[in-house]
Every structure is written in C-alpha cells, then in structure tokens.
Amino acid sequence: MPLITLFSAPKPFKDPHIAMIQRNAIQSWTLLPDVEVILLGEEAGLPEAARELGVKHIPNVAHNDNGTPLISSMFQLARENSNSDLLCIINADIVLMPDFVEAARIVYFGGLVAEGVSRPQRDKFVLLSQRWDLDVTQPLDFSMGWENRLRSTVSGQGQIHRPAGSDFFLFPLSTFHEVVPNFTIGRAGWDNWMIYKARKEGWPVIDCTPSVMIVHQNHDYSHLPGGKPHYEHPDTNENIRLAGGEANTRYTIVDSTHQLTEGGKLVRPKITYLRLMRKLELFLRTIFFFLPENVIENIARPKRWKKRIMKIFGIR
C-alpha cells in the first residue's frame, strides 16, 4: 500500500506545450517511491496519457456548468479510490522529486522538532511549499541523474515564486473529511481556503520550502477564455463566495505555523516583514469585524494603504 496518493485534474492535452509539461510532471510522479497517481476528468487526451504513463484514470468527476472539475468531487473520488494514509492534491504542471516524499515521511512518522515547538499530530496537518518557476520547452530527460540535472537548471535559470498561491496540499485522511465546497479547480481562491480551513481547525500548516524543491513549468493562459489569468475568471468570484468571502482567501504560505528545514527539523517560521504585515492585517480584521467587508479590505490590507498614499501625493 503506497504511503501517498497524488490526485490531479489535468488540462486538455490539445495544446502541444501544455501536453508536454503535463506529461513531464506526471512522469516525475510515477518515479517517486511509495506513491500512486490518480488522474481525474474527461479532458481531451487524458485517457490516452494515463494509459501511456501507467497511472489510474477516473473520468466521472463532477464539474461546473463550463465543464471544469469541482474540488469537492476530486476529494471524494480520491478518498474512494485510494488506500494511502496521505492524500495530495496537486497541479498537473508540477514536477516532483524524491525530497517531496522524504518531507512527507518526516512529518508523518515524526522527525526532529526544535526546542519549544510542539510535535504535530501525525493525523492532523497540511504540508505545502513555495514553487520554483522554470521555462520548459522540451520533454524532460528522465534517465539516470535527472534530478541533479534539473536541480542545476532550476538553480541557474529558475525563480522561486512568491509565497502566494499553492500548487499542492498533502494531508492525512482525517483532515478535510467534511464536505469541501464546490470550488472550481484552476481558479483562484480554493487554495487559500485550504490554508484558512487548516488554521481555523488548529491543524499545523507546515511549509517545506527550505527542504523541498518543487518545479512549476511556466505556461500561458490560452486554455482559459480570452487567455486571461485564472484570477480574472468569473469562476474565481464564485470560489471566493464559496470560501466565505475575501478575508478567507487571503491566507497564503505566509500563514504557515511550522517550517521543515533542510536538515529535516520542524521549527517555527522566522518573523519576516511579510509575516509581520500579515499579523497586523489579521489584527485589524479582528478589531473592525463589524464593518462591511469592502471597508475592512481597505483598512486591513497594507497594499491598499500604499496605493492610497501614492494617489494622494500624485505618485504613479
């Protein structure tokens, strides 16, 4: 029985570049130890890709009126078709390496914990990380030594993404077992809600960025209407509504409660400017809870202050 089940709803395999990077990602998953892969959906080319890569394919995922898979259905199908202790929803353009599995094992089975840091329960946590963005224009060579070659390329040409937006969430079966809202995959908001939900429930949110390199293969948004980014799509507004409002979609990796260091030790995240500003924002939201949401947004978010000050002084 594999420790981890990765589940994902890939985009259609029509666009040659999208098809290539998705095959790169999924093939990297199949090379991981102690992992099984489930691909969900009825997108063009998906059944063929699943057969080609030797992974499980489940077509009957529920979708919205536009035919885009729903997160709630993905979670349900993953639970029903997996015997793993850990589930991981992941975007289909993310290349993983064995350090991902090692991080999951350390957190789940118990590793080193810094002094003064409580050990997370093995059945109650969420693991995530920042990604490294990389332009990939050809199929990856998965022959011996591929991980070292990729790490070298990413270190020289890649760029670490800011701590906003998450491309995977790994969690034990006992978390997120309640009904997950009918979020639309591939749109903004649902990933932020995952962090909000974990923090609300008191589950440790563990950032493994220092110990894991996950690689996002850059792409355009030609698969979306008008080629616009996902956060400008109407389905994003529905995701925000389902999340309970904008405040619940402001949660990011900055809100993590723990970090997994390169040496495999769980520590408290260091106080940074971003974390300090986030704490201030949450404090202001608590004080002004009685105000309308749009007013709270203007008061609580430091970025809004900056824009307002620049406007007052005529700075562009």
The pLDDT of residue 71 is: 96
- Are the beta carbons of 71 and 191 closer than 8 angstroms? no
Per domain, the residue ranges of the chain are 4-267, 273-312
Residue 58's beta-bridge partner residues? 40
Q: Which two tokens stand for residue 148?
A: 């070292």
Q: What is the pLDDT of residues 165-206, one digit of tens each?
A: 789 999 999 999 877 999 999 899 999 999 999 999 999 999
Higher pLDDT, 246 or 316: 246
Length of the chain: 316
Alpha carbon 284 to its chain centroid, in Å, reads 27
The pLDDT of residue 92 is: 97
Residues 225-241 have a mean pLDDT of: 71
Q: Nearest Cα to 38, choosing from 54, 24, 52?
A: 54
Rounded CA separation 184/175 (Å): 20
CATH dotted code for 4-267: 3.90.550.10
Instruction: Report the 3 state secondary structure along 17-69.
Output: HHHHHHHHHHHHHHCCCCEEEEEECCCCCHHHHHHHHCCEEECCCCECCCCCE
The pLDDT of residue 223 is: 54
The pLDDT of residue 232 is: 59
